[in-house]
Amino acid sequence: MTDPIRAARPASESELVAHAAAGFRAQGYRTYIDPDGTDYFDLVVRRDGEVGLVEAKLTGTRAVLLQAVRRRAWGDWVAIVLPSRRAAERAVDRTADRRAAPVGVFAWQDGQLTTIRPPGRFPAAVDDPFASVRAQLAAALDRLDAGELPANVPWDGVGVALRRASGGRRFREWRLDEPPAGPI
């Protein structure tokens, strides 16, 4: 006999992203799943000029929170979506008063997207260092909407240089916009 709780859970991260996209569309957002074709952004949502970034994981809450914090420069807000309310509530508990506190937390539960913690804004500097990258992403989304960029064709995010951590020995690479790993 199939466990109804297990049966209702998404079987893959891509299924979870598709469910989350449907939930955001129901709230009036335009959605873009993997818009740059490189899997850098799981889901981008847009409504009234506001751009949100949503990262999804079936397991590994710490990893998805770190991804969301790293992506914060590109959107007006960032969030994560997890496949259960329990996992989402644990993520909220673990990030209270931490760097990831502004990250929104959603759960896919009982066939709907449930807000556990609404996304907030990260503190901005006097001179917003990320305004230009947010504008670049918004322009790329405009081009997708206009049909100037085919869906899921790699356009490499918004054009960020890569730097090798190993000095060229092909170990871990990261984007220059990403902070070093640390407490989230």
More confident residue, 130 or 125: 130
**Looking at residue 124, what is its pLDDT?**
66
pLDDT for the residue 175? 41
3-state SS of the chain is: CCCHHHHHCCCCHHHHHHHHHHHHHHCCCEEEECCCCCCCCCEEEEECCEEEEEEECCCCHHHHHHHHHHHCCCCCEEEEEECCHHHHHHHHHHHCCCCCCCCEEEEEECCEEEEEECCCCCCCCCCCCCHHHHHHHHHHHHHHHHCCCCCCCCCCCCCCCEEECCCCCCCCEEECCCCCCCCC
Predicted pLDDT of residue 177: 43
Higher pLDDT, 170 or 98: 98
Whether 3 shows a pLDDT value over 50: the answer reads: no
Distance CA 136, CA 35 (A): 13
What pLDDT does 152 receive?
66
Task: Name the least confident of 47-51, 140-144, 162-166.
Answer: 162-166
User: Among 3, 9, 166, which Cα is nearest to 87's?
Assistant: 9
| Residue 80 or residue 69, greater confidence | 80
pTM over 0.75: yes
Domain ranges of the chain: 4-175
Distance CA 60, CA 49 (A): 31
